[in-house]
Amino acid sequence: MYVRITRMALHYRWRLAIGLVAIFFAAGFQLAIPILIGNAVDTANNLFGDADARAKDALVLTAILLFAVSVGRGFSAMVQNYMGESIGQHIGYELRMLYYEKLQRLSFSYHAGVHTGDLITRGILDVEGVRMFVQTALLRSVFLVVLIGTGMYLMLTKDLQLGLISLSFVPFVAWRATVARLRLRSNWYSLQEKLSSLTKVMDENLGGIRVVRAFASQKHEMMKFDGASNEALSLANIQVGIRATNISLMSLAFMLAMAAVLWVGGLRVIDGEMTAGGLTQFLAFMSILLQPVRQIGMMVNGYARGAASGGRLFSVLDLEPDIQDKPGAKDLEITEGVLEFHNVSFGYEGEHTLNGVSFKVQPGHTVGIVGPPGSGKSTIAHLVPRFYDPVDGYITIDGQDLRDIKLESLRRAVGVVEQDTFLFTASVEHNVAYGDPWAPDDRVELASQYAQLGDYIERLPGGYDTMVGERGVSLSGGQRQRLSIARSIMLKPRLIVFDDSTAAIDAATEQRIRAALAELTKDRATIIISHRLSSLMHADEILFIDEGKIVERGTHDELLALGGHYNDLYELQIRPSEDSHPLDDEGGAS
């Protein structure tokens, strides 16, 4: 993780170079302060014995130099922090775009097995953890290495004994930092997982807020959220405890080393083996190192969070979509627009939902597909635009295997209208024109008229500019489905698949939609999947699917004459409405 993040930082070479130069200047200025303070003490001691003008001038010069060095250190630290934050923000932007782009390309099979709340957490909190690693860990590590390394060299060359005593805390700090990093990394990973769970709970609650209110389950939802929040709080408290304990132990080791330097150095000053300024230099060196030592705890936390967040984030970035363009894939070339399934089998997680399905849909013809729930009808709708690939067999359009075609060109040619309609928080016009945002107004209006939605839109206060609420809550179920139909047919696809897309539309409106689409689909292959026989009785061929297999096929009249599954469903759905009891009429007449 650290190497990958560092490589990303190298994309911004100039910022990184300026930041590193600022680090060296900041460390140099900071290390000059103890030397100046030590010289000032010795100069002040000389004033007591010989208060000549030269000694006073030297003291004034030292004070001026000390001020200048402090200003230089402050400016260098500002540049260092700015560049570190700038690089971190750029990496955060880059990661967000890479992550979002990856989510757009990952296959339906991936999205079906992961919760939206977890993906949102990774895209926000984990990106933030990686971004902060650059400033709080990466550049700070360079600064501490330069500062402590150069300080060690200066102290050891000035006085080996005192230098070793003053640095006696380093092994202990290194040990505690290692222990803290390992514990914090595990804790950060667990905390990010709990925050993902928290996001899941909130996402589900807000997505199903109507159900929550309808069943008066606010108290239950609050308890569920409180439980998830408490788990995250417990982990956060553990993290604070780890950091506080280790910073305290590091500071204690540092202060013990400083006390030893003061004791040994003080005895040597008393014995005349060292000047007071020399001892002051050592104590000043250690005082300067106190803040970096305390920052080690923050730095270790940055490493731990960067590793945990980076691991979760890169695990998604490293995924390869199950469905993608194969090398050498070509654009779909439609000559006639014939769709054909060739002995197609498919299954989710090893369980087959389709077995040996074969059929052909020619331009101007409609194939209806019906069957019990779970029989594999919607799977066919998902295979046509290649949301999934068959396990066995293959699918062609004008003889071209879908796996040899570029996905973008395939999905431009295939329009799928699904039962579960998603609408964006935007105007009606933008929702209809989502597939082609620059479509002229007349195309948008014509598509809406085909879907029998034009009159309703014109009655809205803002017409086509009326905002549709989140998830289309301002529209009824039937209106959302009609808007979805308009969105698909506006693109004029060569093949259209209606996957139970009129389930929420009343029968009369459905008849008007079908009549309006007759002209549009006269030269296009059309598949209608429905539980309602009235939606597909007019089809040129009807397939009855049961347990993933085509058990009956033919026209409406042929299937009725067969007296099988289709006829049984017809008797259940249609016949009762056709037959009226004679007494009903007589009762009405009387």
Please tell me the predicted confidence (pLDDT) of residue 590.
29
Mean pLDDT of 76-102: 90
Whole-number Cα distances in Å, 463 to 212, 492, 535: 32, 23, 30
Please tell me the predicted confidence (pLDDT) of residue 289.
73
pLDDT tier at 77 (50, 70, 90 boundaries)? confident
Q: What is the CATH architecture of 2-317?
A: Up-down Bundle (1.20)
DSSP string of 108-162, one letter each residue:
HHHHHTS-HHHHHHIIIIIHHHHHHHIIIIIIHHHHHHHHHHHHHHHHHHH-HHH
Please name the residue that has the structure tokens 């650059």: 134
Tell me which of 8-12, 518-522, 552-556 is least confident: 518-522
Please tell me the predicted confidence (pLDDT) of residue 579.
53
Please tell me the predicted confidence (pLDDT) of residue 261.
84
Please name the residue that has the structure tokens 């630290």: 77
Name the helix (H) or strand (E) containing 328.
none
CATH 3.40.50.300 boundaries in the chain: 339-580
Mean pLDDT of 318-345: 90
Please tell me the predicted confidence (pLDDT) of residue 589.
37
**In contact, 377 and 543? CB cutoff 8 Å:** no
**In contact, 397 and 339? CB cutoff 8 Å:** yes
Whether 541 has a pLDDT exceeding 80, the answer reads yes
One-letter-per-residue 3-state SS of 387-453: CCCCCEEEEEECCEEHHHECHHHHHHHEEEEECCCCCCCCEHHHHHCCCCCCCCHHHHHHHHHHCCC
Mean pLDDT of 399-407: 92
DSSP structural state of residue 473: T
Residue of 493 and 193 predicted with greater confidence: 493
Whether 583 has a pLDDT exceeding 80, the answer reads no
Please tell me the predicted confidence (pLDDT) of residue 473.
53
198-234 in b/e form (b: 16+ CB < 10 A) is bbbbbbbbeeeeeebeeeeeeeebeeeeeebbebbee
Residue of 268 and 182 predicted with greater confidence: 268
Rounded to whole angstroms, the Cα distance separating 398 from 250 reads 73
pLDDT tier at 581 (50, 70, 90 boundaries)? very low
**In contact, 297 and 180? CB cutoff 8 Å:** yes
Please tell me the predicted confidence (pLDDT) of residue 55.
64
Q: State whether CATH 3.40.50.300 applies to domain 339-580.
A: yes
CATH 1.20.1560.10 boundaries in the chain: 2-317
Residue of 193 and 370 predicted with greater confidence: 370
List, in sequence order, every residue forming a beta bridge with 417; answer none if it has no partner.
498
Please tell me the predicted confidence (pLDDT) of residue 50.
53
Please tell me the predicted confidence (pLDDT) of residue 578.
55
**Of 49-63, 525-539, 572-586, which has the strongest mean pLDDT?**
525-539
Please tell me the predicted confidence (pLDDT) of residue 162.
83
Q: Which tokens belong to 48?
A: 């007591």
DSSP string of 265-306, one letter each residue:
HHHHHHTTSS-HHHHHHHHHHHHHHHHHHHHHHHHHHHHHHH
Whether 572 has a pLDDT exceeding 90, the answer reads no
26-39 in b/e form (b: 16+ CB < 10 A) is bbbbbbbbbbbbbb
Whether 260 has a pLDDT exceeding 50, the answer reads yes
Please tell me the predicted confidence (pLDDT) of residue 384.
92
**In contact, 370 and 402? CB cutoff 8 Å:** no
Whether 472 has a pLDDT exceeding 60, the answer reads no
Rounded to whole angstroms, the Cα distance separating 121 from 228 reads 14
Residue of 198 and 545 predicted with greater confidence: 545
Please tell me the predicted confidence (pLDDT) of residue 143.
84
Whether 259 has a pLDDT exceeding 80, the answer reads yes
Question: pLDDT tens for residues 209-226?
Answer: 777 777 788 888 888 888
Please tell me the predicted confidence (pLDDT) of residue 45.
66
What is this structure's pTM? 0.77
Rounded to whole angstroms, the Cα distance separating 270 from 61 reads 28
Q: Which tokens belong to 525?
A: 């292959």
Tell me which of 329-343, 361-375, 503-517 is least confident: 503-517
Rounded to whole angstroms, the Cα distance separating 152 from 285 reads 9
- H helix and E strand count, the chain: 23, 10
Whether 577 has a pLDDT exceeding 50, the answer reads yes
Whether 266 has a pLDDT exceeding 90, the answer reads no
Rounded to whole angstroms, the Cα distance separating 421 from 404 reads 29
Question: pLDDT tens for residues 411-453?
Answer: 889 988 887 778 888 888 888 888 888 888 888 888 888 888 8
> Coil, strand or helix: which one is 362?
coil
Rounded to whole angstroms, the Cα distance separating 211 from 205 reads 9
Q: Which distant-in-sequence residues (6+ apart) come within 8 Å of 474 by Cβ?
A: 467, 468
Over pLDDT 70: what percentage of the chain?
Answer: 93
Question: pLDDT tens for residues 109-122?
Answer: 888 788 888 888 88
Rounded to whole angstroms, the Cα distance separating 22 from 81 reads 9
DSSP structural state of residue 243: H
Mean pLDDT of 360-380: 90
Whether 156 has a pLDDT exceeding 90, the answer reads no
pLDDT tier at 584 (50, 70, 90 boundaries)? very low
Question: pLDDT tens for residues 1-12?
Answer: 888 888 888 888
Rounded to whole angstroms, the Cα distance separating 30 from 42 reads 20
Please tell me the predicted confidence (pLDDT) of residue 588.
40
Residue of 384 and 125 predicted with greater confidence: 384
The residue among 124, 139, 128, 96 whose CA lies nearest residue 9 is 139
Residue of 577 and 255 predicted with greater confidence: 255
